Structure 1
């Protein structure tokens, strides 16, 4: 197959200078920033498409925009040349690179150069074939975008839920039972400086220190760490534990006071001196409530104004001063109810994130198949064939394939008729194990029917599923 080099059909333009802080939830144009699954918005337009937006650092990300847009200086912008349109559709090139991201990686795996990207060879199919490939992959990408939008809505719902439960902690102080200094509710531990390597740890058994970026997005990301250079003595209070509230005590003016809750067990991770580890007294305050309080826009602004810094771009918070900061406390039972709702939404987010990950893997595989001349054929999953793969005796409990709505409905229908619907008793037992797993995950619900005096099974309507 004939090929054409990227540099023959695309040219890089001067790097953008806009900062990520300019991003908003609303605006006329998309603003592409690193670390975000989907672009933010801005009223400032810097470029016109069609163009490819390629990140400069690992992990590599690439976007395509046909209209006006902006991007931070973490990206390189490649615009289609005039001669591009006579030979290749720019979106075709985008999908090819999306399915072959390894081509964009620099040898050192740290950054990418324009020169290396310009030398990438693009397979040159006919324009008719290109349009067919674009049409197929665009459908998958549209589904990814819809799933991503739903994921963002759940994230926003958690913030709205905080205000619905407690009101504005600054403007609606009358809704809180009492207010008290921080030290009456929590224990605050400072971090330390350990000798580390500029690489993350390779396993949970290795000692590592968290980096500041692990909590700046107000979600705990344990992957953001630096491995210990050698074995060192670590204070017990420096180890991160489940239930901790991690608090950014030294950062830029915008990010100081950011908090992240540790929902899961974690081993061998320590806090640096730029992060406080806050341990809540469970009889007085919920750690989840405290995290959302500290991250509330109005409350965080009030907190930032309370503390000063030595530099105009950097602030710091001392333990002594934080202990005296006043915290509004609602009824503890209401805090626990809020926490329960947040945990439910997090489970939903987790399922949606896994589905989004599978879709992204699928578009990469589909891209490789289409560019190599293969056709994508949708094969309807067969229930008995999938059940045959479940092997409890050998520890195979992978139920991820049983997330298709028609498939689960068929499973429920057959289970309700018991053994007569299955080839043998072994297959029926496997079906029961799958159903119990789906019930445990909340994918399937059961309700009592008093008229028929029996339990009815049905799919949880709040669960994100593939159709």
Structure 2
């Protein structure tokens, strides 16, 4: 049973984390629904006046005639893919000669805010501040709205305003255009009401938001590094699965399995299930070799669940159909809340009791690049359809079978890494709540 920490302990921890990241932030008493929120030093006691976004920003400014660029001048180039929706930053730094981008691209300058206006990039949160541009200017996708802050607001203030889920929800309701090509009109951006506190408060709030945002990114990075430990451990203990330098015995999956299960994919409600309902996994529930039970649809009341297809803790799953890069993605089910069914696009591998194979070892092995390539080669399908791996072909996959004792040691280490990952997931969720709480405090109810 977990024990709630006293508020002063949680506050001290939050301040220590902020100080470690070089953020001189002193937090006030922590709210119940998030880790930390700033006090009146950062947040005005009185509501800030509001202005239309178009009053405090120039929206989609043109390239000035006196830009001073020559055809050979190097400028920043930002296609939509260069903006990362997770970190909300320009993740790829590209340059192009001015002659190549002067026509057919959106111009922007140092300090401008880029906001993706097209679905689904807008909903996914593709937004960034243009910083450290080559030559101080850049060109990017025509699917960006560009916002240039005037004297009343900081670029970062506008950036965090656009990061709000509430703003993106309202922007989605303003969509115009046909399905798949819907966009946020510039008129909606210009009319959006943004709080405009005094500049001193903007700077302090931007500082607090930046610190909270940095902690989210660092915790996400730490989680990703932990996940890389599993393939590194596999290679260290057993060697490369393709060359098998340690000479382990090998077998086909068919020789190791008692069976391969699959479920059904009836027409479902596109919403999460209630506690007493049944859900059916989406194909995307197997992502990055991890199992995400929340990615499911709800079985209609008229459909009787086939409990033989219910996902159980300890199951080893693998996608039988997906894109060429993702087909054959494995996932190990560490835990489940129950009442979740397999779809017809996901297999469950049932190992024989006497196979001498630990499911955690096999899960890690199926993640290895050499085995992933072998799985992709087993998939068949036309160019117009997603590749599919049949049960018969899957059974032919040959894998190395090390000693059972060494597999058990490996499984224990993987379980220890999983425990660390769970702690990191909780810390990441805490950091996200803190950031969202700060956003809510900064921009009002």
Please, which of 116, 128, 143 is the counterpart of residue 64 of structure 1?
A: 128
Please, which of 375, 383, 390 is the counterpart of residue 311 of structure 1?
A: 383
2:79 is the counterpart of 1:32: no
**Alpha-carbon deviation of 1:182?**
0.8
Q: How does 1:318-467 map to 2 (within 5 A)?
A: 318-370=390-442
Q: 361-370 or 321-330, which moves further after superposition?
A: 361-370
User: CA–CA distance in 1 between the matches of 2:167 and 2:358?
Assistant: 47
2:141 is the counterpart of 1:89: no
Does the Cα contact within 8 Å between 2:53 and 2:192 map onto a contact in 1? yes
TM-score, structure 1 as length reference: 0.66
Q: How does 1:132-171 map to 2 (within 5 A)?
A: 132-171=204-243
Does the Cα contact within 8 Å between 1:38 and 1:148 map onto a contact in 2? no
Deviations 1:343-364 (A, max 9, x none): 2112112112212222222233
User: CA–CA distance in 2 between the matches of 1:310 and 1:4?
Assistant: 54
Q: Which residue of 2 aligns with 1:209?
A: 280
Deviations 1:292-349 (A, max 9, x none): 2112122211221233222366211111121122121111222221221122112112
Does the Cα contact within 8 Å between 2:231 and 2:364 map onto a contact in 1? yes
User: CA–CA distance in 1 between the matches of 2:360 and 2:150?
Assistant: 53
Deviations 1:203-227 (A, max 9, x none): 3x21121111111332111111111
When residues 31 and 289 of structure 1 are mapped into structure 2, their CA distance, relative to the original with a 3 A threshold, is farther
Q: How does 1:258-337 map to 2 (within 5 A)?
A: 258-283=329-354, 284-311=356-383, 314-337=386-409
Unpaired segments ≥5 residues, structure 1: 20-29, 373-467
Q: Look up the SS of the partner of 2:322 in the other structure.
A: strand
Unpaired segments ≥5 residues, structure 2: 1-47, 62-77, 96-104, 176-181
User: CA–CA distance in 2 between the matches of 1:176 and 1:237?
Assistant: 38
**Alpha-carbon deviation of 1:194?**
1.8
User: CA–CA distance in 2 between the matches of 1:369 and 1:91?
Assistant: 16
Does the Cα contact within 8 Å between 2:171 and 2:184 map onto a contact in 1? no
Please, which of 181, 188, 199 is the counterpart of residue 271 of structure 2?
A: 199
Q: Look up the SS of the partner of 2:290 in the other structure.
A: coil
User: CA–CA distance in 1 between the matches of 2:155 and 2:395?
Assistant: 57
User: CA–CA distance in 1 between the matches of 2:313 and 2:386?
Assistant: 29
Q: Which residue of 2 aligns with 1:180?
A: 251
Q: How does 1:12-31 map to 2 (within 5 A)?
A: 31=83
Does the Cα contact within 8 Å between 2:327 and 2:379 map onto a contact in 1? no
When residues 109 and 262 of structure 1 are mapped into structure 2, their CA distance, relative to the original with a 3 A threshold, is farther
TM-score, structure 2 as length reference: 0.69
**Alpha-carbon deviation of 1:246?**
1.3
**Alpha-carbon deviation of 1:77?**
3.4
User: CA–CA distance in 1 between the matches of 2:260 and 2:157?
Assistant: 54
User: CA–CA distance in 2 between the matches of 1:280 and 1:59?
Assistant: 41
Computed over aligned residues only, the root mean square deviation of the Cα atoms, in angstroms, reads 3.5
Please, which of 191, 200, 214 is the counterpart of residue 119 of structure 1?
A: 191
Q: Look up the SS of the partner of 1:299 in the other structure.
A: helix
When residues 334 and 185 of structure 1 are mapped into structure 2, their CA distance, relative to the original with a 3 A threshold, is same
Q: Which residue of 2 aligns with 1:229?
A: 300
**Alpha-carbon deviation of 1:121?**
0.9
When residues 363 and 200 of structure 1 are mapped into structure 2, their CA distance, relative to the original with a 3 A threshold, is closer
Q: Which residue of 2 aligns with 1:80?
A: 147
Does the Cα contact within 8 Å between 1:207 and 1:227 map onto a contact in 2? yes
When residues 156 and 117 of structure 1 are mapped into structure 2, their CA distance, relative to the original with a 3 A threshold, is farther
**Alpha-carbon deviation of 1:39?**
6.7
Does the Cα contact within 8 Å between 1:189 and 1:277 map onto a contact in 2? yes
Q: Which residue of 2 aligns with 1:50?
A: 112
Q: Which residue of 2 aligns with 1:415?
A: none
Deviations 1:74-111 (A, max 9, x none): x9633223xx232211101223344x422321498898
Does the Cα contact within 8 Å between 1:176 and 1:331 map onto a contact in 2? no
2:50 is the counterpart of 1:3: yes
Query: RCO higher in 1 or 2 (8 Å CA, sep ≥ 6)?
Result: 2
Please, which of 143, 150, 167 is the counterpart of residue 103 of structure 1?
A: 167
User: CA–CA distance in 2 between the matches of 1:110 and 1:207?
Assistant: 34
Count of aligned pairs: 352
